[in-house]
Amino acid sequence: MRRLLACACLLLLLAPQALAAAPFDVEIKTVRAPDSTVVATLELRDVVPDRFRKTLDQGGALHLRVEAELWEARPVWDRLVYPAIVRMFRFTRTTGKAVAIVDPDGQVTTAANVPAVMPIDIKLGEIARIDGASRYYLHAVATLGTLAEREADDVGDAVFGRPSENNSLGSLGRAVFRTVLQISDYLQSVSADAKSKRMPGTTILKR
């Protein structure tokens, strides 16, 4: 009995620390059609994990890529209702050490600190593709990291020489090197994905 009480007390003491260290995560809140467009509302938590904060503090940029797909659940092959929608966000430090977030529309939001929770609305497409008698689910993937393009220049210079140096072998190596980096998109990153429960089309169309 004493051992059980000791374990319970230990869990209570560790709970706030565990909550504070919650991992980078994405949660699907709703998929609704408030008007003629279907909108998915996502919620990201621990948007910039500790191991990425150093990049911001040193003047670097972090890029958040959020992708959402709405699927129709079928007995054999599920059907993709809309093409995958991708939204990109950019995080940097301002001169005053605040955090500047640039959204996909180019709007800049400044905050004193990186938000612990970040809600995102993604417009998926017209409601004409939603059938009230069918069932659907949303798949969302969020990736945060350093975009390869910036680092590729520095590393490429070190390996193959600078572009100003007239060297055909170096130019070829640089082109191949950059192509490989662009395939992976990020040099270092963390990802999270989520899939909603299957929902009837009537739920999506309900206003």
Q: Is 181 part of a structural domain of the chain?
A: no
Tokens of 160: 């193959």
Mean pLDDT of the 173-193 span: 60
Q: For residues 54 and 11, which has the higher predicted lDDT (pLDDT)?
A: 54
CA distance 6 to 66: 43
Highest mean pLDDT among 81-95, 118-132, 150-164: 118-132
Q: Mapping DSSP to helix (H, G, I), strand (E, B) and coil, where does residue 181 land? A: helix
Is the confidence at residue 7, as pLDDT, over 60? no
Mean pLDDT of the 27-50 span: 94
**Which is nearest to 118 in space by CA: 139, 93, 99?**
99
**pLDDT tens-digit map of 157-178:** 434 344 444 444 444 444 444 4
> How many independent structural domains does the chain possess?
1
Q: What is the model's pLDDT at position 184?
A: 52
> What's the full length of the chain, in residues?
207
> Could you tell me the CATH number of the domain that includes residue 79?
2.60.40.10
Burial of 174 (0-12, 13-18, 19+ CB in 10 A): buried
Residues spanned by the domain of 65: 23-146+188-205
Q: What are phi and psi of 121, to 5 degrees?
A: -100, 130
Q: Is 69 part of a structural domain of the chain?
A: yes
Lowest mean pLDDT of 89-103, 109-123, 159-173, name the range.
159-173
E strand or H helix that includes residue 151: helix 148-160
Q: What is the model's pLDDT at position 11?
A: 39
pLDDT band at residue 147, thresholds of 50, 70 and 90?
A: confident
Q: Is 76 part of a structural domain of the chain?
A: yes
Q: What is the model's pLDDT at position 148?
A: 59
Q: What is the model's pLDDT at position 19?
A: 38
**Which is nearest to 134 in space by CA: 193, 178, 71?**
71
**Which is nearest to 114 in space by CA: 65, 55, 66?**
55
Q: Is 5 part of a structural domain of the chain?
A: no
Q: Is 6 part of a structural domain of the chain?
A: no
